[in-house]
């Protein structure tokens, strides 16, 4: 099983904000949604662009390139032009630090 990777202190990611981290070549965006943290792969499945920086609409992130939408809780596509979901990752807060783990190959 993969190790937990520190992203940022929880207090540094305000509700509606995000931080990104690279784990073994995988770009991961960690979002604070109303005090809960969620992590998704930071790659739009439509054209490979970054999702981080896209506007948050409730629990969806809007791809800044072509407006595809992804649910940050489930990774599911909620609006085209993307049709494939993005990967989600486990997140925990330990001693005030947001941590994520890439367990896709465990």
Q: What is the pLDDT of residue 105?
A: 61
Measuring CA to CA, which residue among 90, 57, 22 is closest to residue 99?
A: 90
Q: What is the pLDDT of residue 102?
A: 84
> What is the length of the chain?
106
Q: What is the pLDDT of residue 54?
A: 95
pLDDT digits (tens, 9 = 90+) for 28-74: 999 999 999 999 999 999 999 999 999 999 999 999 999 999 999 99
Query: What is the pTM assigned to this prediction?
Result: 0.93
pLDDT digits (tens, 9 = 90+) for 40-53: 999 999 999 999 99
Measuring CA to CA, which residue among 95, 96, 86 is closest to residue 26?
A: 86
């Amino acid at each position: 099983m993969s190790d937990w990777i520190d992203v940022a202190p929880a207090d540094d990611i305000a509700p509606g904000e995000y931080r990104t981290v690279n784990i073994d070549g995988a770009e991961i965006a960690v979002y604070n949604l109303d005090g809960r943290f969620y992590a998704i792969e930071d790659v739009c499945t439509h054209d490979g662009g970054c999702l981080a920086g896209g506007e948050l609409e409730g629990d969806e992130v809007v791809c800044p390139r072509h407006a595809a939408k992804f649910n940050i809780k489930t990774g599911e596509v909620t609006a085209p032009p993307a049709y494939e979901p993005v990967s989600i990752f486990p997140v925990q807060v330990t001693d005030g630090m947001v941590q994520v783990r890439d367990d896709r190959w465990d």
